[in-house]
Amino acid sequence: MSTEIIHLAGRYNKYRRNLSQSPWIDKNDIRVMNSVQEMIEDGLKKYLSFDKSVFASSGREDVDVRMLGKGRPFAFKLHNPRNLEQYNEQTLKLIEKFVNEKHAGSVSVRDLQIVDKKDVTKNLSDEQSAKKKMYRALCCCSRKLTDDDINRINSLSEICLNQQTPIRVLHRRSLATRKRTIHDLKIEPVKLGDFESVKLEYMDNMFAVSMLTEAGTYIKEFVHGDFGRTEPSLSSLLQDCDTDLMELDVMEVHSDWPPSLQDNTNSHDTMSTGTSLAYQDDKSGCGDEALAELYSRGLKTMQEALEMSRGDKKEDLLVTSRRSLEKADNLVDSLAMFSDNETIDDIPTANLKYLLIPAYLAKLSISGEIRSRRLEAFCRAETYIRQFLHRMSTYSFGGDQVREALKSIDKPDDESKPAPKSLEDQARIRREKIEKFNRTKELENKLAELERRLESTVDDEVVREYYIDLIHKWIIDIIDDLEGIIKPALMFERGAAAGTLMDRPEPVRRPGGSEASSSSNSLVGKNFVITKDMLTKQVFGAGYPSLATVSVDEFITKKINDGDLVYQKDKEIYSNSLQRYAEQPDLLREQEEHSDEEREAKEERDDQEELARKRRWDEFKDDTPRGSGNRHNMG
């Protein structure tokens, strides 16, 4: 048995917020959440034999901060390693692969290698103060930034800070004033999709901050000032503008150690690693190759996610896909790949597929909607659909269909059109639906045939024909999603934000004396869920996926007010009618109790009909195993 110690070093990326670097243990010695350290240890324990491991890293990010770029250097000290033949380059590659696949979307590892103890001490401890780190943050402020604000901040460099120990860490750090330097600073407006927390209604008060800082700088406190404990702060530099930080990412830890074992950057990141923040404006370093990689990875992940049923794995894949495609979309814009002055013939065949990125992002927004953030998800989807359809209109795709869809987005008040009344209109709509269905099937068949041809040829004309037909197919799908999901959902969600479905104005008086609600309050043509009582309605919430919910009593009252239901209290009505159950809420319970009593009485007097019914039921259970269901109509 060996007593030596082996040191392993590498770099890790953290892609998920609410993930700590090291294990969190509460006062009862209970682990609170998973951590980067434990995820990497999973791979070490699977392929290597040792007694104990000790983790160290080049600094640490907060639990809610992501670590992007080439990753953060780290090292493990492995005590009493055994089976030393396992400690080779091939095994370390297997560990990287295991961690990257098992914890995809959370953590990835690269450049795993065996190092000397002195290298660990030198690079993780002795030279910490000499390192620089690059950050990118989403911030919000109490007013809209002006061009003068942006130009003034962007002209600053080598900003010297006096930072007292932040309030949030005073319980574990000594009180002191630390001098730190912001080497480079840049702010810019944000676009939808740049950060997860960007909201349409607050975009005017949001901006992105990119900065190159001295290691050890408290970034959060630099942004908001920590009640004056950090001077100067971004809040004070902007003058009369309270500023706070919403999202923070570490983009780069500048260190040449451990040496890179691969020529290209990590597959999860395409950001430049230069020391100047000019990389945010000049993204030519990413190039077409990086764009193609982002597109391919995002599309592949999206296809995998859409084929899965709901679950945490699907949600992680949707988020990963959306981030890749958002980066690709931003890169397409920065490269000015498409222009309003072009025709479709001016676009190279290799670039046609990038026209579809906004459509993919819209589909991801719809598929990944979370109930608590449904309105934001659908607004984001509508924005991407508008971008996609505008681009299609520019290149003369889709004709009147695209123009009408764009008009319905830009003028949402026109979306509630009256239902056709004549048989001719109904027949016309039916013919249009049939034609659309046939056109869709024809496109699907043609695309399948072109895919088969592309397996055996790389002819440019075939590739171009394939992508043009694919664009036509996605135009149909996106407009269907707009009409069938986005518009109804936004109509309901925006209405729900103002009040419930049944919060109606006073009913108007019909000429005959009966009362009726205005036409804008009618339930005609709208889907809704009817619940038995108000309590069930409250539990049901907004229905699924976006249906209004009303109780029986509300529904009957609404029908009477509309004049669609004549209320005759003295007239005998059907015993199982909605109106009777609305008037007598306890009726159903009384009927069930009476039915149970009647059944018990029959059993006591050995009623022949009841005995025959029970025998038939027993025979049915014997012949039909539980869970078999109705299998008589199976082909």
Catalytic site residue from 26, 42, 51, 62: 62
Q: Does the annotation count 62 as an active-site position? A: yes
Exposed/middle/buried for 614, CB within 10 Å: 0-12, 13-18, 19+?
exposed
Q: How far apart are CA 457 and CA 376, in angstroms?
A: 43
Are 139 and 208 spatial neighbours (Cβ–Cβ below 8 Å)?
Answer: yes
Total length of the chain: 635
Q: Which residue has 């579809």 as its token pair? A: 356
DSSP-derived 3-state class of residue 206: strand
The C-alpha atoms of residue 269 and residue 320 are separated, in whole angstroms, by 11
Alpha-helix runs per DSSP H in 259-399:
287-306, 312-334, 357-367, 374-394
Q: Report helix, strand and coil shares of the chain as percent, to nearest 5.
A: 50, 15, 35
* DSSP 8-state code for residue 133: E
DSSP states of 50-98: -SEEEEEESS---TT-EEEEEEEEEEEEEES-B-GGG-SHHHHHHHHHH
Asked whether 405 and 389 are in contact (CB, 8 A), the reply is yes
Amino acid type, 372 = S
Greatest Cα pair distance in the chain: 100
Distance separating the N- and C-terminal Cα atoms of the chain: 66
CA atoms in the 13 A half-sphere facing the CB of 362: 25
Which residues participate in catalysis according to the annotation?
Answer: 62
